[in-house]
Amino acid sequence: MTDVKQLQSPRDVEQLLRKAGVPGGFAKLVALHGFDAATERLKADPGHGDDEAKSAQLRALQEKLNILKEAFNA
């Protein structure tokens, strides 16, 4: 596991999220804009499928991010 103190740039955060299974595009958005802003950008983008599929993807991503958050806070 990467120590949070070793994360020096948004690229480091993006790579960490990708290793945890977060899709690349969303990992980049989270790294650059934070989870809330990335979620809003994803919701606003009509190219990511229907609302039900988006909701399921967002829930899955949020679960993965919560696991990472717990690991960092441990």
pLDDT tens digits for 19-69? 888 888 888 888 888 877 877 777 777 665 566 766 777 777 777 777 777
| End-to-end Cα distance, the chain | 11
Q: Answer whether 56's CB lies under 8 Å from 43's CB.
A: no
Range of the domain at 31: 4-73
CA angle (61 as vertex; 59, 66 as ends), nearest 5? 95
Look-up of token digits 């958050």: 69
pLDDT above 70: residue 5: no
CA angle (59 as vertex; 14, 70 as ends), nearest 5? 60
- Model pLDDT, residue 4: 58
Look-up of token digits 């989270």: 30
pTM (2 d.p.): 0.54
Number of domains in the chain: 1
